[in-house]
C-alpha cells in the first residue's frame, strides 16, 4: 500500500509558526559545532544559529 498524503492547505498560523518571534528579536540560539578559531581576530569564536529562522551570530571570547 502507498502512503496517504494530506492535500489540505496549511493554516497561516502553522506556516509562519515561530517566525514572528524572530522578527521581534526573540531568537532561539543554539551553538554550532566546528571551526572555533577566527584567523582575522586571532581569538576563539562561538557561533550561534537560530533554530527557527536560521539566522547566525558570532561571539568572540
Domain ranges of the chain: 27-61
Residue-wise pLDDT for 12-53, tens only, equals 888 777 677 888 888 999 999 876 776 677 778 888 999 988
DSSP letters spanning 1-60: -PPP---PPPPHHHHTTTHHHHHTT---EEEEPS--EETTTTEEEEEEEETTT--EEEEE
The one-character DSSP state at 61 is -
* Per-residue confidence (pLDDT) for residue 48, from 0 to 100: 93
Q: CB within 8 A of 38, min separation 6: which ones?
A: 44, 45, 58, 60
- Predicted TM-score (pTM) of the model is 0.59
Q: Which three three-digit cell numbers place residue 60?
A: 568572540
Amino acid at each position: 500500500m502507498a502512503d496517504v498524503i494530506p492535500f489540505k492547505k496549511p493554516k497561516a498560523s502553522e506556516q509562519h509558526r515561530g517566525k514572528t518571534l524572530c522578527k521581534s528579536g526573540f531568537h532561539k540560539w543554539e551553538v554550532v559545532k566546528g571551526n572555533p578559531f577566527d584567523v582575522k581576530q586571532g581569538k576563539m569564536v562561538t557561533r550561534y544559529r537560530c533554530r527557527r529562522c536560521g539566522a547566525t551570530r558570532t561571539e568572540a571570547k
